[in-house]
Structure 1
Amino acid sequence: MHVAFFLTPKEEIVWLESDFTVRQTMEKMEYHRYSAIPIIDDNGKYIGTITEGDLLWKLKKSMDITFKETSNLLLKDVERHRDHKSISINSQIEELKALAINQSFIPVVDDQGIFIGIIKRSTILQHFFK
């Protein structure tokens, strides 16, 4: 079975642009109650996923920064500690199993690496437990 069947398209999810600030990122995470959000660059390509943990480590290393100053700190300057792998829209469902163990969602890209959406772990589990 093709992964496109499980895709939640980009238009229906929350994602971040790489030039967002840390403050914008934290506010988006808080508002949507997400602990991880995909990041795309100016060309629409998937570049990684930011997590709450990544932000906490950055703030810990920058102990003297105030919340107001997080508006001057760019998301692209935050080190990401986990590699959230993406898959191609042309992949088969079997390729999702291993990724779903460690990722709550799997970013999906087209043949040029353009981010087109995600596949949620819950969707994968629902499919396999039917």
Structure 2
Amino acid sequence: MNIAYFLIPKSSVAYLYDDFTFRQGLEKMRHHGYTAIPVISRDGRYVGTASEGDFLWRLLSEDAEHPRPCSMRDMEQLRVRDILQSNNYPPVRITVGMEQLLHSAMNQNFIPVVDDYDSFIGIVTRKDIIRYFAGEARQETPDLLRKIV
């Protein structure tokens, strides 16, 4: 099965640019209600995925012993690319098989998909992958029952 069938294209996905300010990124995540969102460069290349935790850890890492309120001015100086942690949402190529996609979905809510030039082209959600494998399992059940009987 070709994963392009499950692909939600970039034009239908909310994402952040890596040069967005901390504040812009946080506001966009809040507006959409996401806990994680893809981050791309201005030329369309996938950079990583920003999560609520990335924003939170950045706020706490400044001065953990003497926390202070962050002003909006502070948030305007920091860029989204500066807060990204290690890439815990690795992308897959559009040519990847369903088994590899399932393996990725065990650790991610969505899987970023890139083309051969590492340009972000969309996402595949865990929900769609589960639906596919659940449907496949239902189709195999009658054959299994016939073998038993």
TM norm structure 2: 0.83
Counterpart secondary structure, 1:116 = strand
* Off by >3 Å, runs of 4+ in structure 1: none
- What are the ranges of 5 or more consecutive residues in structure 2 without an aligned counterpart? 136-149
Q: Check the 8 A contact 1:23/1:67 in 2, yes or no.
A: no
Q: Does 1:35 align with 2:40?
A: no
Matched with 1:44 is: 44
Larger proportion of helix: 2
- Change in Cα spacing, 1:65 to 1:41, as seen in structure 2 (3 Å) is farther
1:109 to 103, 114, 118: 114
Q: Check the 8 A contact 2:49/2:84 in 1, yes or no.
A: no
Matched with 1:73 is: 78
Q: Which has the larger radius of gyration?
A: 2
Counterpart secondary structure, 1:129 = helix
Q: Check the 8 A contact 2:91/2:114 in 1, yes or no.
A: yes
- Change in Cα spacing, 1:67 to 1:83, as seen in structure 2 (3 Å) is same
Q: Which amino acid aligns with 2:81?
A: K
Q: Distance in 2 between matches of 1:113 and 1:81?
A: 18
Q: Distance in 1 between matches of 2:25 and 2:7?
A: 24
TM norm structure 1: 0.94
Q: Does 1:125 align with 2:133?
A: no
Q: Distance in 2 between matches of 1:111 and 1:82?
A: 19
Q: Which amino acid aligns with 1:109?
A: V
Instruction: Give the count of matched residue pairs.
Output: 130
Q: Distance in 1 between matches of 2:71 and 2:97?
A: 43
Q: CA deviation at 1:83?
A: 2.0
Question: For residues 59-93 of structure 1, what are the alpha-carbon distances to aligned partners after superposition, in whole Å with 9 as ceiling and x for unaligned?
Answer: 00124452412122111111414521111111121
Q: Check the 8 A contact 1:21/1:75 in 2, yes or no.
A: yes
- What are the ranges of 5 or more consecutive residues in structure 1 without an aligned counterpart? none
Q: CA RMSD in A?
A: 1.3
